[in-house]
Structure 1
Amino acid sequence: MKKLLVLFALVIVVAGVVITKTTVKAQDNIESKDSSVIQDDTIKSEVVTLDQTKEENTDLTKSTILLGGEKKSGFNFLTIIRGLFGMAVLVMIAWLFSANRRKIDWLVIGKGLAIQLLLAVCILYIPFVAYFFEFVGKIFVKILDFTKVGSTFLFGNLMDMNSIGMIFAFQILPTIIFFSALTSILFYLGVIQVVVKGFAWVMVKAMKLSGSESLSVAGNIFLGQTEAPLMIKAYLPKMNDSEMLLVMIGGMATVAGGVLAAYIGFLGGDDPVQRVLFAKHLLTASVMAAPGAIVISKILMPQTEKIEEQADVKMENIGSNFLDALSNGTIEGLKLAANVGAMLLVFFAFIAMINFIFTKVGSWVHLNDLIDNATHGNYDKLSIEFILGYLFSPLMWAIGVCKEDITLLGRLLGEKLIASEFVAYTSLAALKSSGNAVYGSFTEYKSIIMATYMLCGFANFASIGIQIGGIGGLAPNKRGFLSKQGLRALVGGSIASLLSATIIGMILG
């Protein structure tokens, strides 16, 4: 335990020094600029000016969001305390759900948390690392542009409509199809296998993982919760309980590359600066989720058996040649896009139906007026959004969200768990663009970024069934374990994403 505390203290100190130096430089750069650009009051007044041109509005929005992030003070005593408190709360929740509390290897847990923190600091504050992730983010943005060319050919003027539904149907869903095809090509060429093996090697050496589970978790950074286990199909039937739970939580805590590209397009809109900004944060969230999933998994079900560190990527032939791989990836992407579209249609319709019932009940018992007065107009009736927002608001406060935004993030977390991360990201995009504040309906820029990390994962109730069907099909002898541990995996995946959000919130200050 002493080693754990010393290790984590050193990481906090090093991170604090790095961020402090970077923040001082950033503040000096900001202060040297024209005061008409950086003063919050000026920005706010310009944002609401009605006679601005479209181009001026776009440039101002970019500056507002970017300056909002840069003007944060970074690490200070209060943010460190809030961050450490939030991390402690999340670890405690995982400990309460643990299957074997006495066997938890706290040194491994400490290493995992330290790796998560160092990843976040390096990606956001170390220049060459930040530039690399921005470069990868720009690649994702370019992929969105390539997709738009094909979508414009197919849908024509429908691509120019600005309603959320049109954007999603004719811009976001095609992105999923194209990226699925691209992923298939990268697999055919062996690129993804090499990158995954590199990540897996680091995890084996740093966190005492078996080769098979590390390959699966590393694969989840790029692939979905049923695709990544395909790489270790031969090992799945022989995995012990701790390894199998990590495979499940790794799938719940991360997202596939195809939907990651879709989120970038959805949150960034048509603004290239915002696209790169959210691409960088979503990529960071995806990478941070891997050690986070390991930390929470090894608390929920500690490793008590001998492990095999060696494992090879073994995957069925994805295509007989380049064109065959491209075609197979396109077909799989079409299936995924159709599933996502159908799921959103049903869930939004279902939420509307439930809200209609709640509103009627609230009207009959005079709850709607009470809610309107109690929330100062933030919620004007009994609804799912109101219930979820206040149900999860204590947890949102614990992880460091400002008090003005805790119900908004609580609502988003609830939507993710009950429906899906797509539904929640849809709400986040709408909230980010609505309201009179500089940051839409949010009070702080940090809340938007923390929500981006918190929602970046497949942890929802539908995923339990997906894993039972997908992973259970690869290893029928594990179907019982998958069914029994589904809820524990859901909790673990959610906590892993919340852990990333907590760390990023602590760093942003």
Structure 2
Amino acid sequence: MDIISVLRGLLGIIVILLIAFLFSNNKKKINWRLVASGLIMQIVFAIFIIKGSYLGTIFAPLGWPKLLFKWISSFFVLILNFTTDGATFVFGNLAKSPGSEGSLGFFFAFQVLPTIIFFATLMGVLYHLGIMQKVVQIMAVIMSKLMGTSGAESLSVSANIFVGQTEAPLMIKPYLKGLTKSELLTIMTGGMATIAGGVMAAYIQMLSQSYGEAMGLEITQAQLLFASHLLGASIMAAPASLLISKIIFPETEEPETKGTVKVSVEKTASNTIEAAALGASDGLQLALNVAGMLLAFIALIALTNYFLEFIGGITGLNSILMETYNKPLNLQLIFGIVLQYLALAIGVPSESALQFGSLIGSKVVLNEFVAYFDLTNLIKMKEMVNEKAIIMATYALCGFANFSSIAIQIGGISPIAPNQRTALASLGLKAVLAGSLSTLMTATLAGILF
């Protein structure tokens, strides 16, 4: 951490807040106390998560949050190992990660998708037992008291740290119909600024494979590294999504749950075994959706790039681009050229700004799974070798903020609260913007503290 890096990061935070301010629908009503408290909370989370070990050397109790965080990260890695045991029984050596005895190489379908299924099973059990509700409520109370946000939006945003963008609103099901527009945007933003626990486990597996091979790390070390960063990104994104959404759409009404935080979750299983079975079924559906989506989107990107490269060839544009960027005309290069300046503004090292911009473009236009897949390839091919850039990209991509998520949220929330359908549709693009700015802010803080 050097002074130039810190100054560039501070500039990045100012740029992000300025963008949010420019898109605000009511600049005079912005609650700057809420914004300041949210920013301070995010910075405190970032310091304890990223620099907790150093703080522990100054005063031992300051290192306790980091120790807890390491324990949770180790738990994620343990889950991955248990998943491998189950997947090996079904798929044999195809499920074993590279470097393991008997491994046949890396196979996405057999080594990544099973983690989604097992994690969904585990979350189903934890929710049935009421454990996750307690954790979510504690976090929601902290944010509600410190930031002055309503109980409903605080609960939903806190739940998003662990579950997806359509599952988290179920925790506030009785209140969805009466939410203000500001609360609704906050809930949508919370969903877009974070990822579900199941796919988080999948990203840990993906990134640790390529990073471990490229950097010469043991797979377990790489898994611990990315478990820590991805979990940290989701936690830091909670206050970030609250403060960004409240800049873009300030509260002007009186929320129904102001000052109260009450979890409301209906049990769908009669016992723990049924909860595990339902979780496995949900996880399988999600894994199949991810597999189908990746197959379709990556093929579509290849098709688009084929035509773009053809156009670049007949127009002579490819020759110019090859001289400047060493790449022909393609979708990733277009995203990179357009967004590299934003990457530079938030503190991404200049040699990685083009690739970083490309990843952000892929995430917003397509989705974060495709972007993480691209990141693993960049690491594997050693086209992105700067560690700071890799970590910042890991944080920046950690969210569901993309155009398809608008349809997912409308489809997931409107059946529970039909009166909110029009509002959900009108707030969709604002939610994508707010979610993207939230993850970029977490990436900026990670870059400052790297």
Q: Distance in 2 between matches of 1:124 and 1:457?
A: 19
User: Are the counterparts in 2 of residues 221 and 286 from structure 1 also a CA contact under 8 Å?
Assistant: yes
After superposing on structure 2, the runs of 4+ consecutive aligned residues of structure 1 that deviate more than 3 Å are 160-166
- Listed as ranges, the matches of 1:76-155 within 5 Å are 76-126=2-52, 127-155=63-91
1:283 is aligned to: 231
Residue from 431, 435, 448 that aligns with 1:493: 435
| Among candidates 210, 217, 221, match of residue 273 of structure 1 | 221
Contact 1:393 1:406 in 2 (8 A): yes
- Contact kept, 8 Å, 1:187 with 1:318, in 2: the verdict is no
Q: TM-score, normalised by structure 1?
A: 0.82
SS at 1:235's partner residue?
helix
- Give the drift of 1:366: 1.0
Q: Which residue of 1 aligns with 2:418?
A: 476
CA drift at 1:79: 2.2
Partner of 1:159: 95
What amino acid is the match of 2:70? E
Q: CA deviation at 1:160?
A: 4.4
8 Å contact kept, 2:141–2:261: no
Cα deviation, residue 129, structure 1: 2.1
CA displacement at 1:255 relative to structure 2 = 0.5
Report what 1:58 is aligned to. none
Task: Give the secondary-structure state (helix, strand or coil) at the position aligned to 2:204.
Answer: helix
Q: What's the CA shift for 1:316?
A: 2.0
Deviation at 1:443, TM superposition (A): 4.6
Gaps of 5+ in 1: 1-73, 435-439
Q: Residue in 1 aligned with 2:215?
A: none
Q: Is 2:449 aligned against 1:507? A: yes
Q: Residue by residue, what CA displacement relative to the aligned partner does 1:449-504 show, whole Å, maximum 9, x if unpaired?
A: 00000000000111000001001111110000111110000000000000000111
Q: Which runs of 5+ in 2 are unaligned?
A: 53-62, 210-217
Pairing 1:71-470 to 2, within 5 Å after superposition: 74=1, 76-126=2-52, 127-160=63-96, 167-269=107-209, 271-307=219-255, 308-375=258-325, 377=326, 379=327, 381-434=328-381, 440-470=382-412
Structure 1 residues 227 and 165, CA gap change in structure 2 (3 angstroms): farther
Separation in 2 of the partners of 1:304 and 1:328?
41
Q: Secondary structure at the match of 1:474?
A: coil
Distance in 2, matches of 1:166 and 1:154, equals 16
Which residue does the alignment assign to 2:59?
none
SS in 2 for 1:234: helix
Name the % identity: 46
* 2:137–2:261 Cα contact (<8 Å) kept: no
State the TM-score, normalizing by the size of structure 2: 0.92
AA of the residue aligned to 1:351:
I
Confirm or deny: 8 A CA contact 2:349 2:389 kept in the other structure.
Answer: yes
**CA displacement 1:235-280 (0-9 Å, x = unmatched):** 0000101111100000000011111111111111271101101100
C-alpha separation in 2, matches of 1:92 and 1:209? 22
Residues 34-65 of structure 1 show CA distances to partners (whole Å, capped at 9, x for unaligned) of xxxxxxxxxxxxxxxxxxxxxxxxxxxxxxxx
Q: 1:80: Cα distance to partner?
A: 2.4
Q: CA deviation at 1:444?
A: 2.0
Larger Rg: 1
Which residue type is aligned with residue 406 of structure 1?
A: A
Tell me whether 298-307 or 153-162 shows the greater mean CA deviation. 153-162
Task: Say which is worse superposed, 263-272 or 466-475, in terms of deviation.
Answer: 263-272
Number of residues of Structure 1 aligned to a counterpart in Structure 2: 426
Letter in 2 for 1:502: T
C-alpha separation in 2, matches of 1:305 and 1:394: 37
Evaluate the alpha carbon distance shift between residue 167 and residue 340 of structure 1 in structure 2; reply closer, same or farther with a 3 A threshold: same
Asked if structure 2 preserves the Cα contact closer than 8 Å seen for 1:285 and 1:456, the reply is yes
Is contact 1:404–1:443 with CA below 8 Å preserved after alignment? no
Amino acid at match of 1:253: A
Whole-Å separation in 2 of the counterparts to 1:310 and 1:120: 27
Query: 2:67 is paired with a residue of what secondary structure?
Result: helix
Structure 2 contact 97–105 (Cα < 8 Å) conserved: no
Name 1:16's counterpart in structure 2.
none
Matches within 5 A, 1:25-36: none
